[in-house]
Chains A and B, each alone.
Chain A
Amino acid sequence: MVASRETYGTEFETQDLLLNVGPQHPSTHGVFRMVLQVDGEVVKDVIPHIGYLHRGAEKLCETMDFRQGIGFMDRTEYLAAFNAELSYVMAVEALADIEVPERAQWIRMILCELNRLSSHFMFMGAFGIDVGVFATPFIYAWKEREQILDLFEEVAGDRMMYAYFRPGGLAWDVPHNFKARVREVLKSTRIGINDFDGLLTKDEIFRTRTQGVGVISAEEAIEWGMSGPSIRASGVPMDVRKDEPYLFYDQIDFNVASRTEGDVYARYSCRMEEMWESVRIIEQCLEKMPDYGPIMPEKMPRMLRTPPGEVYIRTEAPRGEYGIYMVSQGGNRPYRLKVRSACLSNLQALKDMSVNQYVADAIIVLGSIDIVLSEVDR
């Protein structure tokens, strides 16, 4: 167990040190700030501070046309923008009762899973740096991610903020060599995931550093409202793709990666398995996706208006459940938009996970939650 004052007992009084980590610390993944109360090297309390990246994206969306809001959704979750867009356009489609053509749905699925891969690569790289390997995993991850982003650029014309999903379908059709390109990317991705297995998973020091660290139990995880790989690592096989299938996930054969240990290593290996599952999903999608077909409904109105109503749509983003709650009072803009961010809920469990661990553990616990600050703060 962790050695501390309580374990051995001392006669003299000591004072805990407040250590401010962030918002400009190299391992806070953006502008997250936490104040660690440390007794020597042992973390006694964690006080998180969020809001440095708050831009009011939800409120801004209420002043805009449904289609203009897509760009803001990209920016809430910039590492997996397709997944964020998907929730938003699905919410609009549910409100306006729009039927999406089959081909467009398959393309959406492929792009979302590719985006999950690229996001998990980003996690692997950043986590490798958190654990202390000098740059190597980061560059390896970057190389694989680059391939996927190149593909996204060919499809959507942008590498991060795509605005490619539109209510009703897609902005334009994919390039004619789309399937071949995806297969090409998957080939390099497989090699990349294998490389990571060798570089991190099989590393002895990596395992001693991560195993048994930052444990959170299933009950606590549920109480905090965690989702995604973070809760699946604690033994709750919760996956929106399986539980409430959207798009065509019900026609696809895939497993939900889950672990029972609930530690940092479990969260890491959950993501690792998810990447293999994503590759499988994309392969099946490529088989089933029709080569030709419409990508937008025949009659899309020039000005998109929805009847009054409210809807909550949730999808499985790389970090967990990305939900959109949208209220419309009629008209061409949402009356109220709320983003249910997985990162925010996951981040709340940070204190439970990192108290009574070492400072170095707190850093990798934060890394293992895989936060995107712009999604936390919106």
Chain B
Amino acid sequence: MGVDLFGFNNVNPWLDAFIRLQLAVVLITVVVMGYTYLERKIVARFNQRIGPQKTGPFGLLQAVADAVKLVGKEDLRPKSADPWTFELGPFFVFIPVLMTFVIAPFMADWNIRLLELGLIYFVAVSGLSIIGWIMAGWGSDNRYALLGALRSVAQSISYELPLVLCVVALAMFAGTYNLGLIVEQQDKVPFIVWQPMTALIFFIAALAELNRSPFDIPVGESEVAGGPFIEYSGIRWSMFQLAEYAAIFVMSIVFASMFLGGYIWPFGDQVGVGLQLVLTGAKALLFFFVVVWIRVSVPRLRIDQLMGYSWKVLLPLTLVQVLVNGLVLVNGWHEVVLLVAGLIGCAVLVTATSRAVERRPRVPATRTAPVMQGEAARV
């Protein structure tokens, strides 16, 4: 349970919860604006450009300008679209993302609610947004949208398994699903040291969950031209964007809390609130930076390679990790065993990555089309 924020908890717990949720919504909006600005700037630097600079100092108000523009746009709906599914789709994407904020521990005493089964709640709720994607893809009555939605579902199902198993592995190690307690155990050493492979696989699966490059095939611009939100415009489209960045934000906080020691490591829990916030923010931004870095550097995977990678590489390795964690837990071995096993696992993962991804053989080209004979040849 979180602490009493403004003394309302004794008066009325509902009021307390309401205020916390309001604060979370404000925080999301501000952070998403910051993230979009940062992404633009980082991508621009990678592209040898400058990025936004005309809107406000250093282009800081670019996100505001974007938001104003999007709100001012017409809210179009295709005539053949299914009105209810189409219009409710963005909300079904956005609300689960909003709900996952509940478990994010920003500081020692500042969070919405630290649930006992926080991580399970996080994985379960964030998986719900796939319903919104399907609604958007089906309701738009657009074939690109449909294709994108189907890709999104396939991808989500495949990558949720390694994600969940990573969570399980970490919970076995930490002995709890409560994210706050997990953070507090990392005051000496962050869990990424003891669970390197879990962290790596969690990161990869998180990329796929967030539909970020190289797993951005549901929205791949050069193929399905935006996927499920191809038909959306204005405020509804911006809700998808908001959900996407909010999901990255939550994921970055969760990753920072699970593996990088959240607000505690390396200074312990006796530092001030300000430094704790800075620590969480810095770790979350590190996650975000790596995500953007990958986005500007690598091409997109193909759908069969994507699926194969999850089922053939990530899933078996996470299962092994769960097994190893269980053995250590039962036999009471030292944590160094985990470190060694994890590093070996990382090496296997890296080698397997280049081998297991579906790759077509390269041989000198031979004829595939039938030789034209008879009438056809004479024509």
Q: Which residues of A are in contact with B by a Cβ distance under 8 Å?
A: 2-3, 17-20, 25-27, 38, 41, 128-136, 139-140, 143, 199-200, 203-206, 208-209, 211-213, 215-220, 234-235, 260-263, 265, 352, 358-361, 363
Q: How far is the CA of A235 from the CA of B298 in the complex (A)?
A: 29
Instruction: Assess whether B327 is interfacial by the CB under 8 Å rule.
Output: no
Pairwise interchain contact B304-A213, C-beta atoms closer than 8 A: no
User: Which of B144, B304, B362 contacts A358 (CB under 8 A)?
Assistant: B304
Minimal beta-carbon separation of A36 from chain B (angstroms): 10
Q: Are B225 and A26 in touch, CB under 8 angstroms?
A: yes
Is B296 interfacial (CB-CB < 8 Å)?
A: yes
Say whether A143 contacts B48, CB under 8 Å: yes
| B80 in contact (CB, < 8 A) | no
Residue B217, interface by CB 8 Å: yes
Instruction: Assess the B302–A361 pair: CB atoms within 8 A.
Output: yes
Nearest-neighbour CB distance to chain A for B215, whole angstroms, equals 10
With contacts A205-B214, A209-B301 taken as known, whether A129 is within 8 angstroms of B365 at the C-beta atoms is no
Q: Which residue of A lies closest to B303 (CB)?
A: A41
Q: A135-B296, A139-B49, A220-B369 are in contact. List 15 more A-B contacts (CB 8 A).
A: A3-B304, A26-B225, A129-B221, A130-B222, A132-B214, A135-B47, A205-B214, A209-B300, A209-B301, A216-B368, A263-B365, A352-B368, A352-B369, A358-B303, A360-B302
Q: Is B187 located at the chain interface by the 8 A CB criterion? A: no
Q: B: which residues have CB within 8 A of A?
A: 43, 46-49, 143-144, 147, 151, 213-214, 216-217, 220-225, 295-305, 353-354, 357-369
Interchain CB contact (< 8 A) of B365 among A17, A133, A261, A359: A261
* B302→A358 contact, CB < 8 A: yes
With A133-B299, A263-B362, A358-B302 already in contact, the answer to whether A27 and B222 are too (CB < 8 A) is yes
Number of A-B contacts (CB under 8 A): 135
Which chain B residues border A38 with CB–CB below 8 Å? 147
CB-defined contacts of A26 to chain B, threshold 8 Å: 221-222, 225
Contacts of B43 in A (CB 8 A): 134-135
Chain A residues with Cβ below 8 Å from B48 are: 139-140, 143
A310 → chain B, closest Cβ, in Å? 27
User: A128 touches which one: B49, B295, B299, B360 (CB < 8 A)?
Assistant: B299
Complex Cα spacing A199 to B47, Å: 12
Question: B143, A17: Cβ atoms under 8 Å?
Answer: yes
Given known contacts A139-B49, A208-B359, A220-B367, A133 and B143 CB-to-CB distance under 8 angstroms:
no
User: In the assembled complex, how far is the CB of residue A207 from the closest CB belonging to chain B, in whole angstroms?
Assistant: 8
With A25-B225, A26-B222, A263-B362 as known contacts, state yes or no: A133 contacts B367, CB within 8 Å.
Answer: no
> Is there contact, CB below 8 Å, between A209 and B222?
no
B223 touches A261 (CB 8 A): no
Contacts of A352 in B (CB 8 A): 368-369
A-B contact pairs, 20 of them (CB 8 A): A19-B144, A129-B222, A132-B223, A133-B296, A133-B300, A204-B354, A205-B300, A209-B299, A209-B300, A212-B360, A215-B368, A260-B364, A261-B362, A261-B363, A263-B362, A358-B304, A359-B147, A360-B217, A360-B220, A360-B303
Point out the residues of chain B lying under 8 angstroms from A208, CB to CB: 301, 305, 357-359
Closest B residue to A358 by beta carbon equals B302
> How far apart are the CA atoms of A135 and B143 in the complex, in Å?
25
Query: A131 contacts B47, CB within 8 Å?
Result: no
Closest to A143 in B: B48
Which residues of the other chain, A, contact B360 by a CB distance below 8 angstroms?
211-213, 263
For B221, list chain A residues within 8 Å (CB).
26, 129
**Shortest 6 CB-CB contacts between residues of A and residues of B:** A212-B360, A132-B300, A262-B365, A131-B299, A139-B47, A217-B365
Q: Which of B151, B213, B223: most chain A CB closer than 10 A?
A: B223
Q: A169 → chain B, closest Cβ, in Å?
A: 38
A211 and B46 CA atoms in complex are apart in Å by: 27
**A360's contact among B298, B300, B354, by CB below 8 Å, is which?**
B300
Q: Which residues of B contact A211 (CB under 8 A)?
A: 359-360, 362
- The answer to whether A132 and B299 touch across the interface, beta carbons within 8 angstroms, is yes
Please, which residue of chain B has its CB at the minimum distance from the CB of A353? B368
Bound form: Cα–Cα A308–B252 in Å: 75
B300 neighbours in A (Cβ, 8 Å): 131-133, 205, 209, 360
Taking the closest CB of chain B, its distance from the CB of A341, in whole angstroms, is: 22
Q: Which of chain B's residues have a CB closer than 8 A to the CB of A203?
A: 297-299
Task: Find out whether the CB atom of B365 lies under 8 angstroms from the CB atom of A216.
Answer: yes
Q: What is the bound-complex CA distance between A131 and B143, given in angstroms?
A: 21
A133 B297 Cβ-Cβ under 8 A:
yes
**Given A205-B298, A216-B365: A136 and B304 interface contact (C-beta under 8 Å):** no
Task: Write out the residue numbers on chain A whose beta carbons fall within 8 Å of the beta carbon of B143.
Answer: 17-20
- Chain A nearest CB, measured from B61 CB (Å): 23
Q: How far is the CB of A353 from chain B (nearest CB, A)?
A: 9
The distance in angstroms between the C-alpha atoms of A352 and B225, with both chains bound, is: 24
Nearest Cβ in chain B — how far from A359, in angstroms?
6
* Smallest CB separation, A170 vs chain B (Å): 34
Q: Residue on A with the closest CB to B216?
A: A132
| Complex Cα spacing A235 to B362, Å | 13
Decide: A205 near B301, CB < 8 A? Known: A139-B47, A363-B222. Answer: yes
Note all chain B residues with C-beta closer than 8 A to A219: 367
Q: How far is the CB of B114 from chain A (nearest CB, A)?
A: 36
Nearest CB of B to A18, in Å: 8
For the complex formed, measure the closest distance between the CB of A272 and the CB atoms of chain B, giving whole angstroms.
16
State in angstroms the CA–CA spacing of A363 and B220 once bound together: 11
Q: Determine if B302 and A209 form an interchain contact, defined as CB atoms under 8 angstroms apart.
A: yes
Given contacts A204-B354, A234-B365, contact A133 B223 (CB under 8 A): no
